[in-house]
Every structure is written in structure tokens, then in C-alpha cells.
């Protein structure tokens, strides 16, 4: 047994993560260290901005991101594709309605 350097509770000697406070004990498993090694184009904030800007064209960034698990990748892909399809259909319907209004205005 040894003491956790963050919360001072007793933990197993071979522990990687403290079961009391949830902190990682080794440098290799530190979330802050892994975040610094992540390239800027794989960071969550950049991917969110890319998806909001270009929609499904940003899907390769999600699939190439090593930190994202396969179920998340599949779920995000389905959500982004369905949302893109709904937005496309809404846009096309709006264009159709605008064309009808222009025809009505021309007829007056």
C-alpha cells in the first residue's frame, strides 16, 4: 500500500489511478500530458467548430481521432448525417416556398 499524492488516501502500490479522488498517478497516464500531445486538429473544440462550419465534411476528423471510441464515432456519424439531411430538406422547402411567393408577387 502507498499514499495517493493528491488525496493522501491508501491505495494499492501498483495503482495507476486513485480510486478515491480519480487522479492518475503516473506521468504516462496523465490527461494533461495526453492533451498536450494531441495535435490541434484532433482537439474537441476544433472538431466541434469544423462540424458546425462544414457539417459532414468534417467526419474524417472524427474517424481519424484516436481518442474517440468506435461507438462514439458511429453515433456521431449517424447524428451528423441525419441532421445534415434534415437541414438540407428544410432549406429546399424554404427555397420552394420563396419561389411560390415570387410568382405571387409577379402576378400582382
The average pLDDT across 27-43 equals 66
**What tens digit of pLDDT does each residue of 38-71 get?**
888 889 999 999 999 999 999 999 999 988 999 9
Contact 15, 25 (CB under 8 A): yes
Output the CA torsion sign for 31, 43, 78, 89.
positive
**What tens digit of pLDDT does each residue of 73-94 get?**
999 999 999 999 999 999 999 9
The model carries a pTM of 0.60
Q: How many CB atoms are located within 10 Å of the residue 13 CB?
A: 6
Amino acid at each position: 500500500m502507498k499514499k495517493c499524492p493528491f488525496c493522501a488516501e491508501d491505495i494499492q502500490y501498483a495503482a495507476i489511478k486513485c480510486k478515491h479522488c480519480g487522479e492518475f498517478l503516473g506521468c504516462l497516464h496523465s490527461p494533461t500530458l495526453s492533451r498536450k500531445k494531441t495535435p490541434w486538429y484532433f482537439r474537441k473544440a476544433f472538431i466541434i467548430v469544423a462540424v458546425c462550419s462544414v457539417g459532414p465534411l468534417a467526419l474524417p476528423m472524427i474517424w481519424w481521432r484516436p481518442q474517440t471510441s468506435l461507438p462514439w464515432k458511429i453515433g456521431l456519424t449517424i447524428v451528423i448525417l441525419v441532421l445534415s439531411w434534415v437541414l438540407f430538406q428544410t432549406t429546399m422547402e424554404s427555397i420552394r416556398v420563396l419561389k411560390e411567393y415570387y410568382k405571387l408577387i409577379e402576378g400582382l
